[in-house]
Amino acid sequence: MDPRCLTNSLNDQERQTFEEKGYLLVPKALSPGDVTRLIGLVDRLGIERADEVEPDGRLHLRDFLREDDLFMDLLDWPRTFPKVWGILGWHLQLYLSHIDITPPLPVDQHRTVTLGWHQDSGRVNLEMETDPRPRLSIKVGYFLTDTTEPGCGNFWVIPGSHLKNKLDRPTDGISNPQGAIPICVPPGSAVIFDRRLWHSRSPNHSDRTRKAVFYGYSYRWLRPRDNLRIEDYEDCRDPIRRQLLGAVRDGHGYSSPEPEDVPLRAWLDEHQGTNSGP
Ligand SMILES: O=C(O)CCC(=O)C(=O)O
């Protein structure tokens, strides 16, 4: 793994922000050159998989990591991955990845309905009985286009809502819940968020298409949502990436890992000079 990871560890202030707000902004997570390359890839996939377009024009693409080395590089990206292990520890996998392309909405389709507020992971939120429910996973969203102003298809969040199992929704069916804010960031920014944070996509009323890429990391015992499995990544020989993509000795290794199941742990022990914990 790229040793530059070691210079981007989660610091105390970032941890506090993440714990309190349920998300963390990472400015300049991608260089302008990375952004340009990723936009090229996203545009190409958008054309190749145009048949997946949704009725509102949006494209939600999954299972794309094999398409380019840069997508594979984002798995353990030095600007963000150290924050991911700083929050979840070494017992990690990638459980989901998606590209979200939100084109401008024609003026005659501008609607005033409330956003699609949700916590991630579907039935997890119905079937786990604790209050608050456990974190289990986090996502890194990379924003490739300019969303510094509201109304550009911004990612919306309710800061601090990750500890609330239920969302108080205004009864008019239009307004956003109290405290909701758009994330306004320039291209190349990343947002790391707790899956329990109430969040939503939003319509794009600007004249440029919004493009974002999301990588979700969870503990290794959670079933992945991506359809690709380690067998689909024959060329990937890097041990830590193989861990992230689901490589395992046998079924027991998902919850009682041996060292060969979790090379990230040994890497952290060696490079951070500390024991990485139980
Ligand atoms: O595309 C967006 O801004 C929102 C993505 C989202 O809702 C999610 O990752 O769960």
> Taking CB atoms and a 6 Å cutoff, what residues make up the pocket around ligand 1?
100, 120, 139, 155, 199-201, 212, 214
Confidence at residue 114, expressed as pLDDT on a 0 to 100 scale: 77
173: domain range? 3-222
Decide if 250 is inside a domain.
Answer: no
Predicted confidence (pLDDT) per residue in 188-225, tens digit? 999 999 999 999 999 999 999 999 999 999 999 999 99
> Residue whose CA is closest, atom 10 of ligand 1?
120
Decide if 10 is inside a domain.
Answer: yes
Decide if 175 is inside a domain.
Answer: yes
Q: Would you say residue 173 has pLDDT above 90?
A: no
Mutate to test the pocket of ligand 1, among 100, 101, 152 (most ligand atoms within 8 A of CB): 100
Strands (E), 147-258: 156-157, 181-182, 189-194, 199-200, 210-219
Decide if 135 is inside a domain.
Answer: yes
Edge-first strand order for the sheet with 92-102 is: 23-26, 189-194, 137-143, 210-219, 92-102, 59-62
Q: How far is the CA of 213 from the centre of ligand 1 (A)?
A: 9
**Mean pLDDT in residue range 10-38:** 98
Decide if 244 is inside a domain.
Answer: no
**Mean pLDDT in residue range 262-271:** 95
Count of domains in the chain?
1
Rounded to two decimals, the pTM is 0.96
**Mean pLDDT in residue range 55-69:** 94
Decide if 181 is inside a domain.
Answer: yes
CATH number (domain holding residue 109): 2.60.120.620
In whole angstroms, give the CA distance from residue 201 to residue 214. 12
Decide if 256 is inside a domain.
Answer: no
> Residue whose CA is closest, atom 2 of ligand 1?
201
Confidence at residue 274, expressed as pLDDT on a 0 to 100 scale: 66
Decide if 29 is inside a domain.
Answer: yes
**Do 193 and 199 touch, CB atoms closer than 8 A?**
yes
Print burial letters for 255-273: b (CB count within 10 Å at least 16), e (below 16): eebeeebbbbbebbeeeee
SS3 156: strand
Q: How far is the CA of 201 from the centre of ligand 1 (A)?
A: 5
**Do 226 and 96 touch, CB atoms closer than 8 A?**
yes
